Amino acid sequence: MSKSQKPTEALTYEQAREQLAEIVATLEAGDTTLEEALALWERGEQLAAACVEWLDGAQQRLDIAESDEAEGESPTDEEEP
């Protein structure tokens, strides 16, 4: 990881997706050395995993909200002690 790259944990979904799209475009252009292409590929794998993690988390939140709604609860309802 270069000094200018943030760790994937520090990126928003949109930032990770944007960086991944840039990497794909760079690799598709084919204007990199093998070493650069490998480094880009590895970064792309990290970014793709971060995006999947974000999407899985969003899906879990939606599933919980749907479950709460089906049980007649609002997602913002709090249980009383």
CATH class of 11-68: mainly alpha
Q: Domain boundaries in the chain? A: 11-68
CA-wise closest residue to 1 among 9, 12, 29: 9
Q: Which residue has the tokens 């999407």?
A: 55
pTM over the 0.75 mark: no
What is the token pair recorded at 60? 């879990």
Q: What is the pLDDT of residues 13-59, one digit of tens each?
A: 999 999 999 999 999 999 999 999 999 999 999 999 999 999 999 99
